[in-house]
Every structure is written in C-alpha cells, then in structure tokens.
Structure 1
Amino acid sequence: MALDGRGITVLGGGIGGLAVALALRARGADVIVLEQAEALTEVGAGLQISPNGFRVIEALGLAQALAARACRARAVSLRDHRRGSEVLRLDLARLPADQGYFFVHRADLVDLLATAARAAGIQVRLLQRAAKVVPGARPVVEMANGDRLESEILIGADGLQSVARLALNGVIAPFFTRQVAWRAVVPNLVGHPPEARVHMGPGRHVVSYPLRDGRMVNLVAAEERGRWTAEGWHLRDDAANLRAAFAGFGGDTATLLGAVEAPGLWGLYRHPVARRWHGGGVALLGDAAHPTLPFMAQGANMALEDAWALAACLDSGTGEGAFERYQALRRDRCVKVVEAADGNAWKYHLRNPLLRGAAHLALGLAGRVVPGRMLRQFDWIYGYDVTKAVRG
C-alpha cells in the first residue's frame, strides 16, 4: 500500500480529523493528530448521522459502538410552530435496511473516534495550537509555542478558522447570513420520540431530536436577524432571550425551551467553498474546505465522507495526482450540499400567513399521496456511498 510507513500529521481532533486519522492508520500510515484543546471533548450538542455518513462509520469498524451510544431515527417530522401539529412526516423506515440514520451527542462520537484512534496506535497530542502552515516538499506546521513539525503529508481538519485553508487560499472574509442560532441540550420532559422535528414559524424555526437513550433532547433554534452577531460556537446567551424570540411557539416546543438554562448562541456566516483543497503536501477536509450552514444536518457527514475519500485517494497513488483526485471527487458534491443548506431555511420561515398555510397544506397533501417520493428527494444525499465511490 502507498501509505505504509508514511508520516502524516492531522491538524484538528474533531470528527473529520479523527476519522481521517483512523482511515489512514488502517492503510498503514504513521499518524499524529494535533489538537489545540486540553481534552478531546466537544461542545455539548447533538448531531445527525445520516446513512451516507454512517457508511464511513461502518467502514471504520465502529457501527455497533455508535449504535450503542445513539438513538436510531424513525422519522423527520415538519410541524406548525403554534400548535405543534404535524404538517409532513418523512418515514425513515422507508429507507433501505442498510441505511442507518442516528442521533448522537457530538461528545459521544468524538470520544468513540478518539478511543479507537488511541487503540490503533495513533498519537493524539493535546494543547497543540497551530499558528501557521507552510506547504512544501515536506509541509511544516508552526505552533504557537514556537515548535515546528515537518511531515510527509499535512491534513487540515482544523475547522472554520483553519490555518491550513489560509495557507492555500489566503484570506477570504465570510458574510453574515442575517441569521443566528441557539443550541442547547435539555432533559426529555415531553417523551420526545426518536424523530427529528422541525417546528416552522415566521422568520424562525426550531429543530429537536432525542439523545442518549432518549433521556435528553437536542435543540437548535434559528432566527432571522438584521443585527450582527459574532461568529463562533462558544458564545453564551441568556435563556430569556431565546424564549422571547420563540414566544409564539406552542406545544412540546414551549416546554423544551422552558427547560433551557444557558444556551449557546452563534451568528451564521457563509464561508465560500475553498478554491484550492490541496497544494504542497497539504490537504483540507470538513469545515476547513467547505463550511456549511446547519440546515441540511450534513456538516459531520460531509467530514466523514471527506475523511474516507482522502485516505483512499492517498492510498491509491502518490504525489499531487492523489490530491487532485480527492478534490475532483469531493468538491462538486460538497458545493451541492452547501447550496442546498443555503436554500433550506426560507422554506421553514415563511412569514405571510396565507402563503405559509398554502405551503403547509401542499406539503401535507404530498406526504399523504406520494410519501415515497417526498423521501426520495434526498436519495442523492443519503444513497451516496463514498466507500464504493473511491477505494484504496
């Protein structure tokens, strides 16, 4: 195999970074993961692993371990915000039997991947803050403490503020989408079933789904807002502000919002998909290459797909050709997902009551008459299998 004994450094110990480290190690590479945090933990929130992402988890040999920590999803339910009544139900049982869809706490998935990485002999170094990446014959990462680390290949899985992306693409300022989002995890006070509920209201919506054996519920509440809000997932807001913004939401949503204590708040910014994903022995994946808004629940899944594709491409050849194959395989698909997420929020945020009522009526009718067709519109996402699209 082309990767036997090759030294590879991965910047970032999140989902994409740990997944690519595992995929590379399985192909014989010597892998080091550099993570700036003091522990491999994630901000407390949930995520959805759809079938396309779960196929990578399966290929890494972690399917049973993930299923033991996650809730298997049964449906996606679109609901009216005021009463909580169902508008459209997408029955995930209609997916083929091999297409698993799960809700998992982000911290649980990171812990699962990190445990597997360490067991595989991958070095995971904490408190390693990268200041600069220098592409070249042997790419270099310069650390904030003055250390320099060379390797044969350097992978930037270092998120929105990626120094690897900066090295390859320069500074490209993002723009505020005029939307913000709160997130929180609360006790399951309403017997929330294993389904993702999207509660649609004028200029805003709330997504909810269960975590950790159904004991907790993950909440993401998005609102259109004209004034600027800082980017970042580590800001905190007063829960009273969240409840005021969604005061018109009734049913179970009001109960769950009432249980929120210290929600995270972040401004939603659009970063363009990177023009260059590789160069000088450096490659990008996940948010470093293609940040996406959360309205398709595909951020983690795209990172998992990237991880498998990059490892397989590197194992099937050497030099820039392997990197070029990776970008050619991934970029168009990721652009399509990013654009789909960009266009999704307005569908939930219709302000005109008559237009909203007509749209909800049409959705409900389509769901009853052609339920299979409503679900098949996502085949291009869920049906994709990166482990078959590229082998290495």
Structure 2
Amino acid sequence: MALSGRHIVVAGAGIGGLAAALALRARGAEVTLLERAGEIAEVGAGLQISPNGAAVLSALGLGPAMERVALRNRAVVLRDYRRPGDVLRLDLEKYAPGQDFFLVHRADLIGLLATAARGAGVNLRLLQNIDRVEPGTQPVVHLCNGAQARADLVVGADGLHSRTRVALNGPDQPFFTGQVAWRATVPNDLDLPAEASIYMGPGRHLVCYPLREGRMVNIVAVQERRDWAEEGWHHSDDPANLRAAFAGFRGVPAELLKRVEETALWGLFRHPVAPRWQGGNVALLGDAAHPTLPFLAQGANLALEDAWVLADCLEREADSVTALALYQARRRDRAIRVIEAANGNAWKYHFRLSPLRELGHLALRLGGSLAPAQAVRQFDWIYTHDVTKG
C-alpha cells in the first residue's frame, strides 16, 4: 500500500474525481472527496466509453458492473440528414473484435463509481463549495463557508470552472467556437439498435444512441451559429428551438425530435490546455486540466486515463514532486493530441454547400467500402492505448 499514511483531498465527484479517489484509495491513501452538490448524481446524458476508458474501469474492478448497466456499441454509423442509407458504417464488432465500446447513462456510471468509492472507504463530503485552493507544502482547500481542508495532496477534478486550475495557472480565456449543443433523452419507441448514429447536415449534426437496456435514446444535437449560449450542461431550453434548428432533418432524427419534452442547451467553448497540471502538491485532471469538445466522445475517457496515471505515478515515485512531474509528462501531450483530433472532427459533419457535402460523403463512402478495417482503426492510437499497462 504505497500511499498509506497520505491524506489526499479530491475536489469534484464527477467521473474523473470518483475514479481518482477509488484508484488512490486502492493504493492505501486516506481520501476525502469534496462535492458541492447535495448528492452524488448526474442526470440526463449518455456517454460513449471507448476501450481506453473501459480498461481503467476494468482495472478498478468495475468491468462486470459495466456489463450490467451499459450496452455494447456495435457500430458507429454516419448518415446524411435527409437521405436514407449509410454514408459510412464503422462495424466495431467485425473490425475491432474484443474491444470494449460501451453506451452508458452518465448517472449509471457515476453510481457505479460512487458505490465503489464508498465501499472502499473514501470519505465523501457533500455540499462543499470551494472558494479557492492554496498550493504549498501542505495545500489547503478553502470552502465558501469559511472551513478549510488540509491535505498532503489536493487533486482538482472540479471541471470546466475549476478553482484548482486557477490556483496553478490563473484564469484562462476560453472562446466561443460558434457552436451550441442540445442534450435530451427520449423513449426508444423506434427500437433503435445498439449503435451510435451521426446524422450530418449543413452546419449541424445530430448524434443518437440507445441507453439503459435499449429503453431510451440519448440525443446530442450540435449547431453552428453566431449567437452564443452559456457554457455548462444544465441550462434548459424550449424543445421547440431544438426542433426548429433541425427542421430539415428527416427520418429517425425527425421522429426522435418529436418526442423531446425537455432539453438542455450549452455553448461549446474552447479552453486552452492548462500549461501547469501540477505544483505545490496540487494536481489537475479531466476538464480542469484539458476541457474537451465532444466530437470524439473522449472527455470521460481522458478523465479516467488521468485518474489511473496520477495514482500510478504516486505509487511509483515516493517523492511527490517527482511523481507529479511524471504525471504531467505522461498525460499532457496525449491529451493535446486527442483534443486536436476532436477539434478537427466537427467540420467533417457540417459541409454547408451541397457540392462539397456530396463530395465529402462520397469520399467517406468510398473509403469505408475499399478499406473498412482501416476506417475503423484510424483512431486505434486513441482506443488501444491502455494506461493500466503503462
């Protein structure tokens, strides 16, 4: 138990924070998890967990539990927004056999991690609103109610508006990407299979896939526009606005949008990757270190990778300064590469001019027909990367 005797405070009980708490506790640390919400829960959104994230969940002992609550994703299918048929079908069962691609409700994954953390002896403290973090020999988390939490190490998993990130890097300057996204879930009345479908249209696209034994469908709809929307996942919007934005979409998307009764809207902002991920016995992970746009579905997966590597570095190196420097060295370049790939992926879905869209879709269709295995394996550098074996 390499971390026995160390007291670690983790700020934020999202996927990355819970995974870090569990990984650190497994190595003997006394872990306190601070969460500002009144309960450990997430609502209303699906996640795609790819093999690189699934490897961490398996190493944390949650592989069988994931099999129970998640669906195995059989394929990723690109389609035109108004024409029937597939533009490109990436058959994961055929060309990525044995790899774990999951479709899971965020609340279910959070629940698995929280239950495991409590069972392992992590001290979960709710309603803990962080004001600021003070790095140092013994870093201090200052809460808004005036209380303090001291530790040997503070892990900032406190998301996009991270107080921990500010402590190490100062405020950043995110900019609006010119894109907004809606999230919604609806009943799976259409009996959609366990596949992630991407419907591509001019200046917008819609992603959908089933969750929870196929009983519901998760929808993420992205639109390019000049009017910005506030950043964050929990800003409600009128479903009529979503339907109006995607009025030209036919077939399955149109049927799904008819069923939307509640939706959340948020603006997509690009944040710089934090220059410093660690210092003064403070470390960052997940969105606190590297906010990620959703165009490769890697936000949660990168956070899981961070959590495992941080715990692994602390286990390998007794000196915390050396361990935290090693953590940043192992993670930062990979995170940047994945984020750049995600940033470059959106344009493929949003061709505005009909001739360009036709040519782009033709290129995708031909590539998938001539080299289907290569089409699936183009992101092997992301999916087959297993940090638990590093």
Once the two structures are TM-superposed, the CA of residue 94 in structure 1 deviates from its matched residue by 3.2
CA contact (8 A) 2:174 2:269 kept: yes
In structure 1, the partner of 2:301 is: 301
SS at match of 1:184: strand
SS of the equivalent of 2:231 reads coil
Aligned to 2:228: 228
RMSD: 0.9
**Letter aligned with residue 232 of structure 1:** G
Listed as ranges, the gaps of 5+ residues in structure 1 are none
Question: Which moves more between the two structures, 57-66 or 2-11?
Answer: 2-11
Structure 1 residue 382 corresponds to structure 2 residue 383: yes
> Counterpart of 1:107 in structure 2: which amino acid?
A
TM superposition shift of 1:295: 0.5
C-alpha distance in 1, partners of 2:97/2:18? 27
Equivalent residue number for residue 183 of structure 2: 183
Deviations 1:14-49 (A, max 9, x none): 100000111011111110100000000113100000
Matches within 5 A, 1:254-273: 254-273=254-273
Match of residue 284 from structure 1? 284
8 A Cα contact 1:32 1:124, kept in partner:
yes
Query: What's the TM-score, normalizing by structure 2?
Result: 0.98
Q: C-alpha displacement at 1:201, in angstroms?
A: 0.2
Aligned partners of 1:377 and 1:193: how far apart in 2?
A: 24
Partner of residue 334, structure 1: 335
Match status 1:33 vs 2:33: yes
Q: Could you tell me how far apart the structure 1 residues matched to 2:360 and 2:22 are?
A: 45
Deviation of the 1:99 alpha carbon: 1.5
Aligned partner of 1:79 in structure 2 is: 79
The correspondence of residues 1-392 of structure 1 with structure 2, limited to 5 A, is 1-317=1-317, 318-389=319-390
- The residue type equivalent to 2:111 in the other structure is D
Deviates more, 1:90-99 or 1:57-66: 90-99
Q: Is the 8 A contact 2:96 2:376 kept in 1?
A: no
Aligned residue type for 1:91: D
Contact 2:10–2:17 under 8 Å retained in 1: yes
CA-to-partner distance for each residue in 1:98-147, whole Å, 9 max, x for gaps? Answer: 41000000000000100000011111110001100000000000001000
State whether residues 9 and 151 of structure 2, in contact with CA within 8 Å, keep that contact through their aligned partners in structure 1: yes
2:286 partner amino acid: G
C-alpha distance in structure 2 between counterparts of 1:271 and 1:53, whole Å: 22
4+ runs deviating over 6 angstroms = none
TM-score, structure 1 as length reference: 0.98
Q: Bigger shift: 179-188 or 313-322?
A: 313-322
Structure 1 residue identity aligned to 2:26: A
Cα deviation, residue 84, structure 1: 4.2
Counterpart amino acid of residue 292 in structure 2: T
Distance 2:95 2:330 in 1: 25
Secondary structure at 2:237 match in 1: coil
SS at match of 1:274: coil
Displacement, 1:83?
A: 2.7
Within 2, Cα distance between the matches of 1:44 and 1:263? 9
Instruction: Give yes or no for contact 1:84–1:199 (8 Å, CA) kept in 2.
Output: no
Q: Structure 2 regions of 5+ residues with no counterpart? A: none
Pair 1:147–1:274, CA change in 2 (3 A): same
In 2, the alpha carbon distance for the partners of 1:52 and 1:281 equals: 27
Partner Cα distance (1:161, 1:98) in 2? 37
SS of structure 1 residue aligned to 2:79 = strand
Provide the C-alpha distance between the structure 1 equivalents of 2:354 and 2:29, rounded to a whole number of angstroms: 58
Aligned pair count reads 389
Query: Aligned partners of 1:221, 1:97: CA distance in 2, in Å?
Result: 29
The one-letter amino acid paired with 2:247 is: A
1:96 and 1:353 map into 2 onto residues whose CA distance is: 33
Q: In structure 1, what is the Cα distance between the partners aligned to 2:288 and 2:95?
A: 31
CA deviation profile, 1:270-323 (whole Å, cap 9, x unmatched): 010000000100000000000010001000000000000000001111221100
**SS of aligned partner of 2:236:** coil
Between the aligned partners of 1:142 and 1:93, the Cα distance in structure 2 is 49
Deviation at 1:220, TM superposition (A): 0.2
**Aligned letter for 1:302?**
L
- Provide the C-alpha distance between the structure 1 equivalents of 2:269 and 2:188, rounded to a whole number of angstroms: 30
1:163 CA displacement: 0.3
* SS state at 1:86 partner: coil
Q: Distance in 1 between matches of 2:25 and 2:97?
A: 30
In 2, the alpha carbon distance for the partners of 1:54 and 1:279 equals 29
CA contact (8 A) 1:48 1:101 kept: yes
Q: Would you say the 8 A contact 1:74–1:92 is kept in 2? A: yes
Contact residue 206 and residue 221 of structure 2 kept, 8 A: yes
Q: Deviations over 1:40-97 (max 9, x none)?
A: 0113100000000000000001001011001100000000001342100000013554
